[in-house]
Structure 1
Amino acid sequence: MAEQRPRLTSSSLSTAASTLAEMRRRDEGRDDGVRLKKKVGLVSGVALIVGTMIGSGIFVSPTDVAVGGGSVGFTLILWIICGVISMCGAMAYAELGTMINKSGAEYSYLLEAFGPLHSTVGSIPAFLMVWTNTMLLKPASVAIIMLTFAKYAMEPFYDQCSASDGAQKCLAALGIIILTMVNCLSVRLATGLQNVLTGAKLIAVVIIVIACFVKLGQGSTAYLSSGFSGTNANIGQIAIGLYKGMWAYDGWNNLNYVTEELSNPYVNLPRALMIGIPVVTLCYLLINISYFTVMSVTELVHSPAVAVTWSNRALGVVSWIIPLSIVCSTFGAANGTLFSTGRLSYVAGREGHMIELLSMIHVRKFTPMPSLILTALLSLLYVIPGDISSLINFFSFAVWFFYGGTMAALLVLRYTQPDLTRPFKVPVVIPIIVLVIAVFLVIVPIATGPSLGYLFAFLFIISGFIFYIPFVHFEKYPAFMRE
């Protein structure tokens, strides 16, 4: 006998509308006291996603993705797969973000799912996540992005040689300081800057795409016509290619870090994700096709700077536009990363997993100033050595470790709290697929190419226990670390 579905009546629709209205009043109407304000709209949300995702990755990762792919056809498929994975992960995050209307992304979701097991066991996954991201991954990411920014910003001023490492580090540090000041002064100023830089980089992307179609129209299809010739069959190298591709896509979850500042999050969070990520995926695919109109896979793999090589061959006298676009992309990506990371340590401080100072926000600016300053200081520290790319190579290992944990948290919440209001709900198969992919991306590179770097990343995550036990579990810390 066919299952009868409940009918949608005017009464049930009215009840659902009332529930959503009450949720909005609860989350948006409580402006008493000092709290983060809802100043991030749909446009700013899309700009934050696109601006953070399109950073240095698309100008650095194509080489490694091509190594993993081995052929033009499979390389392009890897870029599409990375986009699909990001979209699936983002949709799962949209359910979590509309169900748990707190900033902090993975941290808040892990805490909600496993925290009820109580302080010693339940909150450990959330603490290890915030420890790793706050102290290492996000600040190091900002440092790498700003070093890339400095390299390309100074390149036009040096004809026969490159700028010294010291000069590049100083410019990178200056950029971090400027971005920190902007984010501390005003949410509106920070999101406005993000909107402008996103617009600038998209104009550059449009130029690259137009040049792609021009080249195709001129018959520059020799390299593209090679298709799947030379496709790589090594699972380990394919996994590394996916790693590098996912690094270029990293940032798809950044809007979840600022959920509390997103206006009407129950509508704008899923909508911004469904707009932003497909835009980035299409841009990446067309940019790589554009690369292959003037370069073979071998040439792309051995190019020291893929985007510069492409611009010299495709744009001629206006090739300077590529360094300019990279400057805009990296500056915007660093701004978006700093904006979201500051909210992560703010939420962790509010929950007692970081020092209480980090839970403070400016009484007039309504910005999490202490947490922003901490992120900036750590980023400046990672700029000093100047070469932490080997550490960033294992960025995806740690990131996907926690992405997998977050998918597990969603599945746990489906089982333990089925009655929670879910304004946006994805089929359960989506988080399961992303969880399987996360396990693959964590295990396969270790199994096929063991490295001390993976061990270092794992040990850094586990080292969080050293701080968790005395500071969080036993709450033993010096008086100056208190509020």
Structure 2
Amino acid sequence: MGTSQETSGENGAKSEDGAVYLKKKITLVRAISLTIGTIIGSGIFISPKGVLKNSGNIGLSLLIWLASGILSMCGALSYADLGTSIKKSGGHYIYLLETLGPVPAFLRLWAEFVMIRPANIAVVSLAFGRYIIEPLYVPCSAPPIVVKLISAMGIAFIIALNCWSVSWSANLQTLFTALKLVAIGLIIVPGMMALARGRTENFQDAFDTSSLALDKIPLAFYSGMFAFGGWFYVTFVTEEIINPERNIPITVIVSLIVVTICYLLTNVAYYTVLTTTEVLTSEAVAMSYADRILHQISPVISILVAMSCFGALNGGIFASSRMLFVASREGYWPNLFAMIHIKRHTPLPALLLMMPLVFLMIGIGDLYGLLNFYSFSRWLFMGLVAFGLIIHRRKYPDLPRPFKVPLIIPIIFSTMCLFIVGMSLYSDPVNTGIGCLITLSGLPVYYLTIHKQQLPWRMREIFDFLTLKMQVLMEVIPQEIKTY
């Protein structure tokens, strides 16, 4: 992400001819920083509990972490293939639109902004709230209402920051990426030292099958894959990446190798110090680990973890607003959301749309319920994107593909995603069923959006009037130069 503050601006700044458009400011280093910074958020600090709970033992939980990393790499390589041949920003949405058509693309967009994005932000922000406030309540747990209030305040600040300045949010993203790597290091190093001294008792009977429940394995993958979520964000900003044909594949490969190694070592460190019971009963696994092994400096870990969550929220909100921006530009969402602030150079309407539902889901507050709730639609559509790559290859065999993966990679990814989604309907039918119904509720909205010209002229006139007033109020205008 760019950090300069030139007069020409960045990411929606005015060029010398006065036009407003998205400029290419994301270099390879910035792309890797954005990707690692959004992958490593709250997942590695809260998901170990979910993976262990649903896998049943330490050994299988570590295998699921490794498999989640490999599966994420397959998905990332599939997205990189599409990202180097389809030059538009927008990630999931634009790839579904170009490969499988407007209906699945719109349903993905609908699920993203009604369910997936608000729930994802709520999960990470609740982790942020818990870790930032937990040291003040030791040895007790922080009251849930306090955690929710802190979480809501953090989200409000991040969205306000992204609305105010791309440069400021970019500078903070770089800082938080460095802080979260420090936090990971402070967990891994003491754990490896303890393991080297012979603390291996917690790994005895690592594959004990007494608590193994095969029907819960998909939910364990949900928690593991949640921790790897974020590898796709680089494709949300394709139009702003310098030399995307080269930099997108390098970004996803380097980022996922680094993160997978970090995650495996972090989990080994947790299990070296904490028993399975302690991991399962902890509301903040990293904090319990720090209390046990780091003693006086454990509050530092808590603050670093909170900052890691904060950075992931910042990067995710920055990238996901581009999906809504592109969908509006393509004509599948009200055109107000394809506009950029004329002074701040930010997609202000797209950013503000996220706030109401995020606050609602923070109020719900059940981390693992939220995780299962939105994971159904998230992984269903990611599997469909990989399947769409196979269709795209057959439909456009002569299309230039600067980065071309073997078809077995998207086949593996799409098959595993659809299998996990199907099994989750059996494992957690309530939450996944609700997620399915909310996704399908986008069908009538799609019809109204596509056939808006068939609405009564009076309704269209009112809608256009409100759009104009909101445009004036927000001081936003459409992008003026084509960037793809």
TM-score tier after normalising by the smaller chain length: 0.7 to 0.9
Q: Which amino acid aligns with 1:101?
A: K
User: Out of 24, 32, 48, which is 1:46 matched to?
Assistant: 32
Question: Judging changes above 3 Å, is the alpha-carbon distance between structure 1 residues 394 and 305 closer, same or farther for their aligned structure 2 residues?
Answer: same
Deviations 1:283-328 (A, max 9, x none): 1100100011112334322333322221121112222232112211
1:479 correspondence with 2:464: yes
1:462 correspondence with 2:462: no
Distance in 1, matches of 2:188 and 2:139, equals 30
Deviation at 1:232, TM superposition (A): 6.2
Distance in 2, matches of 1:455 and 1:108, equals 26
TM-score normalised to structure 1 length: 0.87
Distance in 1, matches of 2:165 and 2:241, equals 15
1:269 correspondence with 2:254: no
Residue 367 of structure 1 aligns to a residue whose secondary structure is coil
Aligned 8 A contact 1:90 1:253 in 2 = yes
Q: Which amino acid aligns with 2:166?
A: V
Q: Which residue of 1 aligns with 2:482?
A: none
Question: Judging changes above 3 Å, is the alpha-carbon distance between structure 1 residues 103 and 184 closer, same or farther for their aligned structure 2 residues?
Answer: same
User: Out of 132, 145, 154, which is 2:124 matched to?
Assistant: 145
User: Out of 315, 318, 341, which is 2:320 matched to?
Assistant: 341
Where do residues 404-423 of structure 1 align in structure 2 (5 Å cutoff)?
Answer: 404-423=383-402
Q: Which residue of 2 aligns with 1:90?
A: 76
Deviation at 1:131, TM superposition (A): 0.7
Moved more, 131-140 or 33-42: 33-42
TM-score normalised to structure 2 length: 0.87
Distance in 2, matches of 1:86 and 1:314, equals 31
Q: Which residue of 1 aligns with 2:22?
A: 36
Residue 102 of structure 1 aligns to a residue whose secondary structure is coil
Aligned 8 A contact 2:389 2:410 in 1 = yes
1:76 correspondence with 2:51: no
Residue 353 of structure 2 aligns to a residue whose secondary structure is helix
Q: Which residue of 1 aligns with 2:290?
A: 311
Q: Which amino acid aligns with 2:450?
A: V
Identity of aligned residues (%): 39
Q: Which amino acid aligns with 1:444?
A: M
Deviations 1:82-116 (A, max 9, x none): 000001100000011111111110100111113xx
Aligned 8 A contact 2:131 2:287 in 1 = no
Moved more, 86-95 or 211-220: 211-220
Aligned 8 A contact 1:355 1:481 in 2 = no
Q: Which residue of 2 aligns with 1:61?
A: 47
Deviations 1:38-57 (A, max 9, x none): 22222221122111111111
Q: Which amino acid aligns with 1:268?
A: N
Q: Which amino acid aligns with 2:55?
A: G
Tell me the C-alpha RMSD between the 2 structures. Answer: 2.0
Aligned 8 A contact 2:35 2:233 in 1 = yes
Question: Judging changes above 3 Å, is the alpha-carbon distance between structure 1 residues 146 and 304 closer, same or farther for their aligned structure 2 residues?
Answer: closer
Deviation at 1:189, TM superposition (A): 2.3
Deviation at 1:329, TM superposition (A): 1.2
Q: Which consecutive unaligned segments of at least 5 residues does structure 1 have? A: 1-29, 115-121
Moved more, 397-406 or 41-50: 41-50
Q: Which residue of 2 aligns with 1:109?
A: 95
User: Out of 107, 129, 148, which is 1:169 matched to?
Assistant: 148
Moved more, 152-161 or 201-210: 152-161
Distance in 1, matches of 2:420 and 2:412, equals 12
Distance in 2, matches of 1:137 and 1:329, equals 20
Question: Judging changes above 3 Å, is the alpha-carbon distance between structure 1 residues 421 and 188 closer, same or farther for their aligned structure 2 residues?
Answer: farther
Q: Which amino acid aligns with 1:135?
A: V
Deviation at 1:222, TM superposition (A): 1.4
Q: Which residue of 2 aligns with 1:27?
A: none
Aligned 8 A contact 2:223 2:371 in 1 = no
Aligned 8 A contact 1:70 1:297 in 2 = no
Where do residues 129-208 of structure 1 align in structure 2 (5 Å cutoff)?
Answer: 129-159=108-138, 161-208=140-187
Q: Which residue of 2 aligns with 1:452?
A: 430
Question: Judging changes above 3 Å, is the alpha-carbon distance between structure 1 residues 310 and 388 closer, same or farther for their aligned structure 2 residues?
Answer: closer
Question: Judging changes above 3 Å, is the alpha-carbon distance between structure 1 residues 232 and 261 closer, same or farther for their aligned structure 2 residues?
Answer: farther
Q: Which amino acid aligns with 2:395?
A: T
1:356 correspondence with 2:335: yes
User: Out of 318, 325, 330, which is 2:304 matched to?
Assistant: 325
Distance in 2, matches of 1:171 and 1:299, equals 26
Deviations 1:223-249 (A, max 9, x none): 124342337653312221111111111
Q: Which amino acid aligns with 2:205?
A: S
Distance in 2, matches of 1:69 and 1:167, equals 31
User: Out of 85, 88, 108, which is 1:99 matched to?
Assistant: 85
Q: Which amino acid aligns with 1:133?
A: E
Distance in 2, matches of 1:392 and 1:217, equals 35
Question: Judging changes above 3 Å, is the alpha-carbon distance between structure 1 residues 393 and 95 closer, same or farther for their aligned structure 2 residues?
Answer: same
Distance in 2, matches of 1:91 and 1:450, equals 30
Moved more, 436-445 or 227-236: 227-236
Deviation at 1:187, TM superposition (A): 2.5
Aligned 8 A contact 1:356 1:481 in 2 = no
Aligned 8 A contact 2:78 2:409 in 1 = yes
Question: Judging changes above 3 Å, is the alpha-carbon distance between structure 1 residues 385 and 240 closer, same or farther for their aligned structure 2 residues?
Answer: closer
Q: Which residue of 2 aligns with 1:4?
A: none
Q: Which consecutive unaligned segments of at least 5 residues does structure 2 have? A: 1-14, 469-484
Residue 393 of structure 1 aligns to a residue whose secondary structure is helix
Where in structure 1 do 4 or more consecutive aligned residues deviate above 6 Å? none
Distance in 1, matches of 2:345 and 2:23, equals 7
Aligned 8 A contact 1:94 1:269 in 2 = yes
